[in-house]
């Protein structure tokens, strides 16, 4: 079987000239459990959880997502880029569990126009996942005719085929880099942490993502979802 070309064989693409936005102050979160919330309003924790909270989260179906990340997506103005091989591979249940969670981040129709998910999924799941995000993008663009830019959601399922050495998961919201020790958005039930507040352009995150996206696109036709017609 022909092996995919190494990621290093593709020249990085310079970050797009989008207006830089103020990056959130650096912070670290531990996805928690509603019964053990840190401030009584959100399950997000600013310190390691107790063992009781950790066990409660691990047994939850589904686990509480990271509220701070969902809010950041809702507030996005330009782009949301996610690199996570296991984004649609929940620890328990079908892919639909995570599909529902990810779609909920965009359900309010954020101003963002460039949404790209670089991930993996089984061949039998890809078509259905793509269909659901297509319907979501169409609904947002139809219901919010006042939008300056139509939302464009693209999914590429070839991350695993492209490279198998990326363990951690990343998201770029506007010019802010998020780093996850497990599934983006706090969707994994085990103890894991996420950090934010890193300038994505200064740390090479945007160039790396663009390079990976272009390389993955050579492996198969990507799913272009919700692209406005001209």
Express each pLDDT in 107-130 by its tens digit. 888 899 999 999 999 888 999 999
Task: Provide the pLDDT for residue 138.
Answer: 94
As a dihedral over the C-alpha atoms of residue 182, residue 195, residue 69, residue 62, rounded to 10 degrees, the angle is 30
For residue 20, the model assigns a pLDDT of 54
Strand partners, 156: 118
CA 74/CA 92 separation, integer angstroms: 26
Indicate the domain borders of the chain.
Answer: 25-225
Q: For residues 118 and 159, is the Cβ–Cβ distance under 8 A?
A: yes
pLDDT for 38: 62
CB-side neighbour CA atoms (13 Å) of 80: 28
Distances in Å between the alpha carbon of 7 and those of 10, 39, 115, 214? 6, 43, 22, 10
Classify 25-225 by CATH class: alpha beta
Q: By the 8 A CB rule, do 142 and 109 touch?
A: no
Q: Where are the beta strands (DSSP E) in 13-151?
A: 27-29, 79-83, 114-118
Contact call for residues 202 and 210 (beta carbons, < 8 A): no
Cβ proximity of 169 and 184 under 8 Å: yes
The H or E element containing residue 67 is helix 67-74
Dihedral angle at the C-alpha atoms of 79, 84, 85, 87, nearest 10 degrees?
-90
Q: Which residues of the chain have pLDDT under 50?
A: 1-19, 222-223, 226-230
Residues 6 or more apart whose CB falls under 8 angstroms from that of 167 comprise none
| Other C-beta atoms lying within 10 Å of the C-beta of residue 8 | 10
């Amino acid at each position: 079987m022909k092996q995919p070309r190494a990621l290093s064989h593709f020249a990085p693409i310079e970050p797009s000239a989008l207006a830089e936005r103020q990056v959130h102050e650096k912070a670290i979160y531990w996805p928690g459990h509603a019964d053990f919330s840190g401030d009584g309003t959100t399950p997000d924790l600013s310190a390691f959880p107790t063992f009781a909270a950790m066990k409660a989260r691990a047994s939850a179906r589904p686990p509480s997502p990271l509220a701070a990340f969902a809010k950041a997506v809702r507030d996005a103005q330009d782009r949301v880029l996610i690199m996570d091989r296991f984004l649609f591979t929940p620890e328990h249940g079908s892919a639909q569990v995570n599909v529902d969670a990810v779609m909920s981040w965009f359900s309010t129709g954020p101003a963002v126009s460039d949404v790209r998910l670089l991930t993996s999924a089984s061949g039998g799941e890809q078509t259905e996942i793509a269909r659901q995000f297509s319907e979501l993008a169409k609904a947002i663009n139809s219901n919010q005719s006042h939008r300056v830019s139509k939302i464009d959601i693209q999914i590429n399922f070839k991350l695993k085929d492209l490279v198998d050495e990326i363990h951690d998961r990343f998201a770029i919201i506007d010019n802010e880099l998020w780093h996850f020790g497990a599934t983006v958005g706090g969707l994994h039930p085990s103890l894991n942490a996420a950090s934010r507040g890193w300038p994505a352009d200064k740390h090479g995150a945007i160039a790396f993502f663009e390079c990976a996206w272009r390389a993955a696109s050579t492996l198969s036709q990507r799913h272009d979802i919700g692209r406005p017609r001209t």
